[in-house]
Amino acid sequence: MEEKNKVSDILMTLDRLALEYKSDSVIVIEDSILDCHKKIGEWIEGKEDAEFVVNLTGGTKIMSIAAYEFFKDYSSKMIYVPIPKNEFIVPFPKKRPGKPVKLDLRLSVIDYLTAYGLTVVNESHLDSYREEAIKRKELSEWISGNYDNLKNLLKWLCEILRTHRSNNQFIFKDEFLGASDEEKQLLSKLNFDYKEGSVSKKINKSEIKYLTGGWLEEFCFVKVSELVGHGIDDAVIELQIKNRLGRNNEFDIMFRGNLRCPADILSLRLLDTFQNFILI
């Protein structure tokens, strides 16, 4: 735990959640019951009359056994959090175990990643990405519903704009001949000027990202977000994270929830409205 900075990661998450706590660390040899008892015995001096709640979930199996054996002589309350349930059980006394107790705290995506030692690089931008996706919800749904009639135009726009994804602004001007009614509607919805095959517009960075695949990300994100509170706790879009080695990763969409959430319902909801794509 110490070598992997797990304790500091957990404390950092508690700070993010603005929870009040006091923390002491007892460093033990993880595979030695004798060392665990010795170190805990030193720590507990002067606290013997306190009420102890012992979480047997974490640490090595040896550490859990050592904690149980040590604290059972103090009439301590032993608890265990069974994966993937968001509750803890009180297994002792074994003939009268306590009823499961629900845990009300639900971590956001960022809190969860922080607890695993990952840093969200673009946290300050996530709210604006979410707002843009929600604002363009109807447009993204319209594109998905008419994709077969729009794919030639979308492919054409993407090929031109792909190399300009880092631009803050771009003056778009090119020719697209023989546009279908749906393609003309899309250009109109996007506020492009379209006259006799000539397509033009001054577009910003957000619009460039949207037209180079971002519309699909936003469509899926909105569908996932509709399940928040129904098995999913939180969802983010365009997430950038960094690990301790400085390696970066990007995720179009990331969400978290109970592992027993209805993933089949999520898949059906997406595939039912957007059957031309396979989600991985």
Q: Tell which residue, 259, 253, 255, 249, has the closest CA to residue 118.
A: 249
CATH topology of domain 18-104: Rossmann fold (3.40.50)
86-119 in b/e form (b: 16+ CB < 10 A) is bebbbebeeeeeeeeeeeeeebebbbbbbbeebb
- Predicted pLDDT of residue 244: 87
Measured CA to CA, the distance from residue 163 to residue 152 in angstroms comes to 18
Residues 51-67 have a mean pLDDT of 94
Q: Tell which residue, 80, 126, 86, has the closest CA to residue 106.
A: 86
pLDDT by residue (tens digit) across 171-219?
Answer: 999 999 999 999 999 999 999 999 999 999 999 999 999 999 999 999 9
pLDDT by residue (tens digit) across 10-55?
Answer: 999 999 999 889 999 999 999 999 999 999 999 999 999 999 999 9
- Predicted pLDDT of residue 269: 55
Q: Would you list the domain boundaries of the chain?
A: 18-104, 121-273
State whether residue 224 is helix, strand or coil: helix
- Predicted pLDDT of residue 265: 52
More confident residue, 267 or 275: 267
pLDDT by residue (tens digit) across 237-262?
Answer: 999 999 988 899 999 999 987 645 45
Alpha carbon 25 to its chain's center: 29
Sorting pLDDT into bands at 50, 70 and 90, what band is 85? confident
